Structure formats: C-alpha cells, structure tokens
Structure 1
Amino acid sequence: MAIDPADGMVNASLLVKRFSGRNPVEYLMLDGTQPTLASIAENNGKLLASHWQDGRLRSSRRPEFLRELTAVGIIRQTPGTVDGHKAAAPGVPGNGVRDFAPGLWLHHDLAAGLARWAECRGESWKPSPLAEFVKQALAEHAGGKAPSQKGAPESAAEAFAGLVNATTLQNLRAMDQILIEGGLSFSERQQTLHARLEQKAQQRGKV
C-alpha cells in the first residue's frame, strides 16, 4: 500500500492490483460512492455538480466526470507502469526499487471502501481483512508521525512504525539517515526502505 506523505492520497491502482478485473474507476462510478465523493469535495471547499448523481450521465460522460473529480482534489493520475521498477539513485547500492508513483491516486477517505469492494466483489456483508489493514495503515500515517525539528528532513522510516518491531524500526532509521546524507528525496528513501524490508522477508522465506 502506497500513501503519499504530502497529501495522504492512496495509490488505488496498486491497492487493487492483485484483484483481477477490478478497476478503481468502477468504484468511483458506483451510486453508493457518490455521497462520499460529494462530502470530500465539500471538505475541500468545492462542490461536485449535482447532475453527476445521475448514474447514466456518469456512464455516458465518464471522462468529464473523472476530470471534475481531479479538479476538486479527489483523484489524480500519475502516468507509468503500476508497481514497476525504478533504477537505484546514484551512489545507492542495488538494482533499484519498486516504483509506487504511477497509477490512479484517490483521497484517503475512499481507500477502505475501495479495498472492501475489491476484496469482497461488492458483497459488503463479507469481512474484509484488506479494508481493516487499510484503516489501520491510514490511522498510523495520520497519527503516528513524530514532529520533526525545524529544518530536519522528515523521517521515511516512521512510515513503517507499527508495522515492524522496534529493532527493525531502529535499523530502518539508521539506514534512512545514510540515505538522507546521500541526498535522496523522501519518496526515494521510503521506497528504498520498503525494498529492504521485502528483501529481508524473502531471505527469511528461503531459510
């Protein structure tokens, strides 16, 4: 799961990637999603046109509807291959990291609902472990950030707090400091740390 540290948006394309045939745009088109879209737009100080409540109109004018969702800050599209590969930054060892940037990003208030829709195939009565995980990750992202000192770079390691044990988190912080000194951006550091965790998990699986 990828969360943008700047605005809290979630990469919807990455979130539903393992569910064959599930397109996050279809979730945005549902009648049941419209009240949430309207609420997010209002909270952003904007309003969705009332005619979008008509499902037939949304279907026939889908590109226009999606452009309006983009304009009011509900979604954004980043071109590229979803969950593709990004070459390592100069001076950083390894073959690179997974690229979490490309895909359709959506407002965090939609993420858990999207996860439930994708995992449960629209049958909302079914339990959704993925939706619960998304809720937990978003809560930790929103409330688990330690205030950084003025002028100090934001710690990319804190994005994994609550997901790893204390020893692993300490190691991630140390690695993050090395990456900071190497001049990497926050997103590059976060992706490198995530790749490191995946590498460790794969190594444990081979033991």
Structure 2
Amino acid sequence: MPDLQHLHHHWLRAWNELQHTPPLDLYEQLLQAYSEPQRHYHTLQHLAECLQLQSESAHLAQQPGEVAIALWFHDAVYDVKAHGNEARSADWAVTALQTASVSVEIQTRVHALIMATEHTAAPLAGDAALLVDIDLSILGAAPARFAEYERQIRQEYAWVPEDVFVEKRKAVLQSFQDQAPIYGTALFQTRLEAQARRNLADALATLAVARMLANSAFKEEKTHRL
C-alpha cells in the first residue's frame, strides 16, 4: 500500500502548480477509484510509481502541473471488460477542472494528455511524450517488479481463457518491442530502454512457451477424443 500522506502531498502540489483549488472530496473519490476490487495493476501502487517519476522528471515538462493532474486521472476509470476507459477518465478530469474553474485551454491539454495513454500512436514530443514514458516505465522496471506486473495484468484478465490471453498479451507486448525507441524522451531512453527490451524479450519468450504448451494440450485432448 503506497504512503497516502505522500500521495496527498503530490495531489496538493499538482493543484498548487495549476494555481487552483481541487473540488471537495475529489481526492477521496480518486483513491476509491484506484482501490476498486477488479484492479490488480492499475492501482494506487501504479499511480504512486507514476507520480514519483513525474516528480523526478518535472524539469522536463512544459506544464508539470498538467502532467501531474493527467497522471492522477489517466486510469481513474478502469473497467477490464469495456473499451473507452481513457476517454471516460479524460472526461472525468475535464469535469473536475471545470468545477475548479480551470481554463478551457488547460482542460483541453489535460484531456489530450490522458488520451495519449491509449498508446495507439507514439506522441511526437513535449508533455505527451513525457507522460507516456512515465506510464510505460513499468516496462523498464527491475525484473522482479516487471514479473509482478505481468502477474497483476493476468489477474485483471482472469476471466479470459488462457489461450486467448496469451495471444492478446503477445500482441500488446510485441507492439511495444517493435517501437524504436520504446521511450520518447532522452531521460527514459537512458534509464529504462535497455531493461525494457530485456523484460519484453523474456515475457514474449514465456508467452511463446505457454502457447506451445496450450497447443500441445489441445492436440492431446483431440487425440483422446478420437
């Protein structure tokens, strides 16, 4: 469980950088959202890891407060059986910013930052590139943390049959492995790129074995039926 006092410090600092006061009870609502029972990776642990990296890389941001707020909301809505979580999270952020009388320009930028975490395309540069690098920092984590991450993702999709999960997960990880580079900022390329490629290669190898074993089990079962 992350240090809630530390999280609250990040929260207040983000709003202070925006020079606005957060809506009443919004902090508690977000803590509750990130603590929902269907979450195993997209939790307060992930949020705290992102916010720590945001603090360490704030000097790279054009608008560090906006990056921080976007991180707070980027997984605020997380339904493992639905599409559009990023859009719903972005909409929640805009509603909160409107309530706090934050300018439309900031609302628009924060919305775009959150939508960048769909990871459908590499952002060109700027705060979007930084935010995406922070969100994908788990790929370059120490091997033990990366292995925990993979287990957590499987728990979130425990309802998906193993053969289907293996194929879908392979496609996701391969898409990151195919990016050159994975990270868009020099800081994250230096710190995490090499480890991320090692982690992804190991995970893809593990998935290949799992697929082979699943195919073998299927063929054996088919033979017995004959």
- Fold-level match, TM-score > 0.5? no
Greater percentage in helix = 2
What's the TM-score once normalised by structure 2's chain length? 0.24
Greater percentage in strand = 1
What's the TM-score once normalised by structure 1's chain length? 0.25
